[in-house]
């Protein structure tokens, strides 16, 4: 009888161990395959590292891993040439390539006695390390030695027993960082790289030029940074500032020297990231024409934009209040761009240069005699063909430097340049059109991947013109139906920074939506599961708390849908995340779990001024207190009429 009891007890302990292991595992992006084993490997100060290769890249990956382990645990994991039989973590490059894994794939095997990480290339080992770190307790993200967890218990540095085989769905897994609208230092860009590689991103798209600044040194054109990198310092809601006075000092800004760029490229390469430079032309060029006014089609006094309004957006399009374009009819423009792209191409090893091409206001071109002469000479029918003429000439310049050209989907208008790749941002339609023309495409639709947009209700989020919630980002699918997948290079999330003044807010806007995009471009499409994803997101939040990285808790906030029943206002609420309870008040006090619980649409009391709401889970507050003015409810309801 005792033997039976012991056997049953052992089975029960094993079941609990497996269940605990499953509950601990919250990897983003989701691996291709993950098999849970009935074992755990415990990391300690006697754990050793073994490597099958002495290559510099492999050794750098090992130092990356042991450095983070040392910071959080205090353990110094020694690297030994010969593998011990137990308590060892082995990094192995396949002597014969595993075709399933490709260049960036890997496998991980964790047993009670050790861990083996295997890949074809050092990049695969690097991505395996990101997964391995996510398998360790949250405290591994600490910047200092952690003896105890947040709940006060001693930290056990254990890794659940798993067999993982993983590789990316797409080769292009990008994040765009706008360093123009607000300037971010070289060290902050490195910090962004540190954070993005944890989720297996491998392309950093740097938006380097725009109306609000020129951020890269071009030695043959010194005014670009002497003049173009600086503007009047203003704080508030970008795009609504008063125009600067002539005598206001231009003290805000900065730029990256060519040595800075080389340093960033080296740092990125050490983290298996390529940097895509963007020089945005012919629109978005106020900083360039402020530096060299002769590049414009118009005669005016130009200044780097400081956040004052200079574009007018309408239901049917947009036009410029002040000319911010380079002139396609001016040969000096192409001489200027030849100098710019010569130096950019020499700096950046990545195969592509992004030339922008988006949101080019053409109303000043329409008035230009030089443009009219160009149209007659080149037989151009309209302004779209004028821009296409410009884009095709830019492509020739970029290709003459040994690079390929990429642009936003507006470069399709008027005729696509012969070899151009398209980054589709105005939905996916431009990407579909380009792919059907056999051009390479990176999908980046603003409906899913624009992480500068609000991620919750405007009454609580920093104001931007539109909302993209986490669920919308998770619904991102890079390959549309009916499109040959071979032309879809991958996908990208874009962080524009008009309303982002500092690194903490950049983090808030990036995470968790960049988790969703990371999963869309790495994990198999068929593995998508929203409820499981949100479980893993919450686990990552705990890791970010330890790492002191900021994130948005917007997924816990209610979604408001308002309408009218006769003259009465009706409010319907829902949540992105399952299992949340909403409590509310109309009496101006702060609701908690003892207030009325939302169970059905609310009719707003006649004289109420504010609706306040908060979400709870299992009796604990999880969402933010949100104040929704009744005036705002009425405004939204009236718009629906």
Number of CB atoms found within 10 A of residue 15's CB: 11
Structure letter (DSSP) for residue 624: -
CA–CA separation, 154 vs 521, rounded Å? 37
Cis peptide before 282 (omega within 30 of 0): yes
Instruction: Identify whether the C-beta of residue 571 lies closer than 8 Å to the C-beta of residue 584.
Output: no
Given the residues 141, 178, 210, 452, the one annotated as active site: 210
Structural tokens at position 100:
């399933």
Instruction: Identify whether the C-beta of residue 37 lies closer than 8 Å to the C-beta of residue 14.
Output: no
Nearest to 414 by CA among 385, 382, 447: 385
CA–CA separation, 514 vs 526, rounded Å? 19
Instruction: Identify whether the C-beta of residue 468 lies closer than 8 Å to the C-beta of residue 447.
Output: yes
CA–CA separation, 518 vs 480, rounded Å? 18
Instruction: Identify whether the C-beta of residue 181 lies closer than 8 Å to the C-beta of residue 505.
Output: no
Percent of the chain that is helix, strand, coil (3-state, to 5): 35, 25, 40
Nearest to 180 by CA among 90, 108, 286: 286
CA–CA separation, 191 vs 176, rounded Å? 14
Nearest to 68 by CA among 41, 49, 93: 49
CA–CA separation, 320 vs 510, rounded Å? 30
Given the residues 182, 205, 271, 284, the one annotated as active site: 284
Given the residues 57, 359, 385, 632, the one annotated as active site: 359
359 tagged catalytic: yes
The alpha-helical segments, DSSP class H, found in 444-555 are 446-449, 470-474, 503-510, 513-522, 530-547
210 tagged catalytic: yes
Nearest to 418 by CA among 402, 440, 450: 440
CA–CA separation, 499 vs 238, rounded Å? 6
Structure letter (DSSP) for residue 31: P
3-state secondary structure of 552: coil
Question: What does the angle CA 188 – CA 192 – CA 193 come to, to the nearest 5 degrees?
Answer: 115
Residue 175's beta-bridge partner residues? Answer: 204, 493
Catalytic center residues: 210, 284, 359
């Amino acid at each position: 009888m005792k033997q039976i009891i012991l056997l049953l007890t052992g089975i029960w302990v094993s079941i609990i161990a497996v269940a605990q292991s499953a509950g601990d595992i919250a990897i983003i992006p989701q691996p291709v395959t993950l098999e849970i084993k009935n074992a755990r490997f415990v990391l300690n100060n006697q754990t050793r590292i073994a490597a099958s290769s002495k290559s510099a890249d492999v050794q750098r990956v090992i130092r990356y891993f042991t450095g983070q382990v040392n910071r959080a645990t205090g353990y110094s994991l020694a690297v030994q040439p010969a593998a011990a039989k137990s308590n060892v973590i082995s990094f192995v490059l396949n002597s014969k390539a595993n075709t399933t894994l490709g260049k960036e794939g890997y496998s991980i095997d964790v047993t009670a006695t050790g861990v083996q990480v295997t890949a074809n290339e050092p990049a695969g080992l690097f991505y395996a390390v990101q997964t391995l770190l996510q398998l360790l307790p949250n405290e591994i993200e600490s910047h200092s030695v952690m003896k105890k967890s947040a709940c006060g218990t001693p930290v056990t540095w254990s890794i659940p027993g798993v067999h993982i085989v993983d590789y990316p769905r797409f080769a292009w897994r990008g994040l765009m960082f706008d360093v123009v609208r607000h300037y971010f230092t070289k060290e902050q860009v490195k910090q962004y790289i540190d954070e993005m590689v944890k989720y297996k991103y491998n392309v950093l798209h740097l938006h380097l030029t725009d109306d609000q600044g020129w951020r890269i040194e071009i030695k043959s054109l010194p005014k670009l940074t002497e003049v173009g990198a600086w503007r009047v310092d203003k704080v508030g809601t970008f795009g609504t500032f008063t125009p600067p006075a002539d005598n206001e000092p231009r003290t805000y800004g900065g730029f990256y020297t060519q040595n800075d760029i080389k340093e960033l490229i080296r740092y990125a390469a050490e983290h298996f990231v390529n940097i895509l430079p963007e020089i945005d032309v012919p629109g978005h060029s106020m900083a360039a024409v402020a530096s060299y006014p002769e590049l414009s089609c118009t005669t005016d006094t130009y200044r780097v934009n400081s956040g004052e309004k200079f574009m007018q957006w309408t239901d049917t399009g947009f036009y410029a209040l002040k000319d911010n374009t380079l002139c396609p009819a001016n040969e000096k423009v192409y001489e200027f761009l030849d100098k710019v792209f010569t130096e950019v191409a020499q700096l950046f090893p990545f195969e592509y240069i992004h030339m922008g091409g988006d949101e080019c206001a053409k109303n000043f071109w329409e008035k230009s005699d030089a443009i009219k002469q160009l149209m007659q000479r080149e037989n151009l029918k309209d302004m779209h063909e004028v821009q296409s003429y410009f884009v095709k000439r830019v492509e020739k310049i970029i290709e003459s430097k040994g690079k390929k050209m990429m642009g936003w989907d507006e470069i399709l208008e008027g005729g696509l340049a012969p070899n151009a790749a398209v980054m589709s941002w105005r939905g996916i339609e431009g990407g579909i059109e380009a792919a059907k023309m056999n051009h390479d495409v990176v999908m980046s639709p603003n409906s899913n991947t624009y992480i500068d947009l609000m991620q919750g209700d405007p009454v609580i989020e920093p104001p931007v013109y539109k909302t993209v919630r986490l669920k919308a980002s998770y619904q991102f699918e890079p390959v549309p139906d009916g499109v040959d997948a071979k032309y879809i290079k991958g996908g990208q999330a874009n962080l524009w920074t008009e309303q982002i003044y500092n690194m903490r807010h950049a983090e808030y806007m990036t995470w968790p939506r960049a988790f969703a995009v990371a999963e869309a471009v790495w994990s198999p499409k068929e593995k998508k599961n929203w409820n499981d994803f949100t479980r893993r997101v919450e686990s990552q939040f705990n890791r970010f708390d330890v790492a002191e990285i900021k994130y948005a808790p917007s997924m816990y906030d209610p979604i408001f849908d308002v309408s009218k029943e006769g003259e009465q206002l009706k409010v319907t609420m829902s949540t992105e995340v399952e299992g949340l309870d909403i409590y509310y008040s109309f009496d101006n006090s702060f609701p908690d779990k003892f207030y009325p619980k939302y169970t059905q649409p609310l009719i707003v009391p006649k004289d109420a001024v504010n609706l306040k709401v908060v979400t709870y889970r299992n009796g604990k507050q999880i969402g933010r207190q949100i104040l929704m003015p009744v005036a705002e409810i009425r405004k939204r309801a009236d718009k629906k009429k």
